[in-house]
Amino acid sequence: MNYFPEFTAFLRNLQDRITGELDQLEHDQGSSIQFQSDEWKGEDWLAGGGRTRVIEEGLVLERGGVNISDVHGQLPDDLAQKMPGDSRDFRAAGISLVLHPRNPHAPTVHANFRMICRGNPESPEKLWFGGGGDLTPMYLYEDDAAHFHSIWRSVCEAHSNVASYAKMKKDCDQYFYLPHRKEARGIGGIFYDYMQESPTEMLAFSRAAGNAFLDAYLPILRKRSIQPWTAEEREFQLWRRGRYVEFNLAFDRGTQFGLKTGGRIESILMSLPPLVRYKYNYTPAQGREAEIMAVLRTPRDWI
């Protein structure tokens, strides 16, 4: 069975709904900035294409990207060796988003949901799903963390035959981790990859998880984006963003997949924040800045 037509139609609809809600939030807070849409096609050996939507310099979002793609071709040697199956032919479709709010009290968020196959999509040799959502606060608000995780737990519980919140939460903590810093990128969420069993049920779960993103994040963004902030808090936000850059460029599988398959570089690197600050040998010693750093070194259960 070819799952791609249903999945790609879902991705386009989900992109529309997410960017529409975020555009409305910008409008509600007095901004005329909205997401700009950019349709693109694969080049050289990579066929297919996608639709990138990016917002920059909004009152709420300093930068945000909500991208969908549906590409196919033949896997390069290094990627072919790392993925299930033997066929060089592949097809991959997914949505990937990263939102960097302007307000230091509003957390950065990332989510993606994807389906990949090797061989003919009509009768694939291997087919698997991956994705999840995770939160990267600059300042810790435990009620935000509890809300974010509770939404993902509810989705997993509704699809418990294929999804375990406990496992996906643990896998998220382990994946979004900077080993050279010995700290997590954020306070996690869920993460899953190479899910090959029960494709019909995994498709339903991935759709439900994608649909839950706005419920998980939008209430937090609405609340924190209007909160007062200081120049010192802005400086700390820019420093914390440096960790995000380190992870995305050094460890993120999606970034590496895009670069190694010749993906569209502007869409791949839209995940990076527009402004970042690095300070030599800096560690916050006290206050709320030290609080979030302590949490990142010791993952917690938030529900």
Read off the CATH number of the domain in which 191 is found. Answer: 3.40.1500.10
Measured distance between the N- and C-terminal CA atoms of the chain, rounded to whole angstroms: 38
In a domain, 235, yes or no: yes
In a domain, 302, yes or no: no
What pLDDT shows up at residue 267?
76
Burial of 80 (0-12, 13-18, 19+ CB in 10 A): middle
User: Domain of 253?
Assistant: 4-297
In a domain, 84, yes or no: yes
In a domain, 268, yes or no: yes
Residue 73's φ and ψ, nearest 5 degrees, are 165, -145
- What element of type H or E holds 134? strand 126-136
274's tokens: 């527009």
Total structural domains within the chain: 1
In a domain, 206, yes or no: yes
Residue 170 CB contacts under 8 Å (≥ 6 apart), including other chains: none
Angstrom distance (rounded) from CA 247 to CA 264: 20
Angstrom distance (rounded) from CA 51 to CA 68: 5
In a domain, 303, yes or no: no
Kindly list the catalytic residues: 110
Kindly give the confidence (pLDDT) of every residue in the chain, 303 residues in length, as a single tens digit, with 9 standing for 90 and above. Answer: 899 999 999 999 999 999 999 999 999 999 999 999 999 887 766 789 999 999 999 999 999 999 999 999 887 777 777 788 888 889 999 999 999 999 999 999 999 999 999 998 988 899 999 999 999 999 999 999 999 999 999 999 999 999 999 999 999 999 999 999 999 999 999 999 999 999 999 999 999 999 999 999 999 999 999 999 999 999 999 999 999 999 999 998 878 877 776 667 887 888 899 999 999 999 898 899 999 999 999 989 999
In a domain, 57, yes or no: yes
Report pLDDT digits (tens) over 122-170: 888 999 999 999 999 999 999 999 999 999 999 999 999 999 999 999 9
What pLDDT shows up at residue 260?
72
In a domain, 134, yes or no: yes
Per the CB < 8 A criterion, the answer to whether 31 and 59 are in contact is yes
